[in-house]
Amino acid sequence: MAQALSTRYPLVLVPGMLGFVRLLVYPYWFGIPEALRRGGARVFAVQISPVNSSEVRGEQLLQIVERIRRETGADKVNLIGHSQGAQTARYAAAKRPEWVASVTSVAGPNRGSELADYHALRYPADSARGRLLALFLQLLAMAMWLLETGQRGPLLPIDVHAAHQSLTFEGAALFNRQYPQGVPTSWGGQGAEVVDGVRYYSWSGIVQDKRSDSGGNRFDGSHFFCRMYARGFVREKECDGMVGRISSHLGHVIGDDYPLDHMDIVNQSLGLVGEGADPVRLFTEHAARLKAAGL
Ligand code: CA
């Protein structure tokens, strides 16, 4: 049982916007690498620009993958991306499919995020309000770099406008035209399961009355924000607070209605989630799935 999750290829966890490995002692993937390692998986939680385009982040990821391949002797890796980390992983797989066994999108805004569209309207880049938000995000990213203890390196390039553009529906559509691998061709459908030898998977959650508001989430500020953002969704009422249910689809859709908000899905904050929800198990089950597929 100890080796039930010993996948053939290492698992690489790619964070989303404002992502990190560990701020002081606090991890982005709360309890997830530990659970995977207990099952025998090799896991790398990596740091890339917290605020930048999916293409720039993807190029950084390729350099990291190259290093992991060299260090472990593995030919390929399994990429698991949360939020914008999904597009980042997709970019890397599109560019170097021979290095990637699978791409898994966890609450990835593969069709874009209504929240980003809302911000584009409310905080136009050329307005005083937009410039103030950009400055705030820039300072936040720099503060995070100072506090990062999981994978400290040089200050990674920050581009607020490019990050934002990557996440709007228009930006995501542009990205999908260039990197269509795994993206469903019909709204609500699943995508191709294998493209260029790379397997594509996704899962996501939706904010659900009662179920999401219960348990630890009653004490979790991030859940409050996800609930608030969810109310602003118009195109997709079913969403996790930052990404719509259908927008998250990529490749084989493992599930798209888990009672998990956008932060619950990576077991935030501090493992506080709705009653009965188990986001860590989705990761361990997926590692077992990858192993069974010979990946
Ligand atoms: Ca939570």
Query: Residue 1 above 80 pLDDT?
Result: no
Cα maximum dimension of the chain: 57
Q: How many angstroms is it from 63 CA to the middle of ligand 1?
A: 32
Chain-centre distance for alpha carbon 221: 20
Which amino acid appears at position 202 of this protein?
Answer: S
Q: How many angstroms is it from 222 CA to the middle of ligand 1?
A: 6
Per-residue pLDDT tens over the stretch 55-84: 999 999 999 999 999 999 999 999 999 999
Q: Compute the chain's Rg from CA coordinates.
A: 18
Per-residue pLDDT tens over the stretch 7-35: 999 999 999 999 999 999 999 999 999 99
Active site residues: 83, 240, 262
Q: How many angstroms is it from 279 CA to the middle of ligand 1?
A: 10
pLDDT > 90 in the chain, percent: 93
Per-residue pLDDT tens over the stretch 186-240: 999 999 999 999 999 999 999 998 899 999 999 999 999 999 999 999 999 999 9
Residue 158 confidence (pLDDT):
93
Q: How many angstroms is it from 213 CA to the middle of ligand 1?
A: 9
Residue 152 confidence (pLDDT):
82
Q: Where are the domains of the chain?
A: 11-292
Chain-centre distance for alpha carbon 211: 23
Which amino acid appears at position 229 of this protein?
Answer: Y
Domain range 11-292, its CATH number among 3.20.20.80, 3.40.50.1820, 3.40.50.300, 3.40.50.1100: 3.40.50.1820
Mean pLDDT of 250-278: 97
Q: 15 and 141 in contact (C-beta within 8 Å)?
A: no
Q: 20 and 85 in contact (C-beta within 8 Å)?
A: no
Q: 93 and 198 in contact (C-beta within 8 Å)?
A: yes
Per-residue pLDDT tens over the stretch 135-175: 999 999 999 999 999 988 889 999 999 999 999 999 999 99
pLDDT > 70 in the chain, percent: 99
Q: How many angstroms is it from 150 CA to the middle of ligand 1?
A: 22
Helix (H, G, I), strand (E, B) or coil at 143: helix
CA-based nearest residue to 64, from 87, 31, 89, 86: 89
End-to-end C-alpha distance for the chain, whole angstroms: 18
The CA distance from 29 to 19, in Å, is 10
Q: How many angstroms is it from 218 CA to the middle of ligand 1?
A: 8
Q: Which helix (H) or strand (E) holds 23?
A: strand 22-23
Over the chain, what is the mean pLDDT? 96
Q: How many angstroms is it from 180 CA to the middle of ligand 1?
A: 31
- Band of pLDDT at residue 2, cut at 50, 70 and 90: low
What's the whole-model pTM score?
A: 0.97
Q: Which are the contacts of 44, defined by CB distance < 8 A and separation ≥ 6?
A: 10, 11, 12, 13, 64, 68, 77
Residue 3 confidence (pLDDT):
86
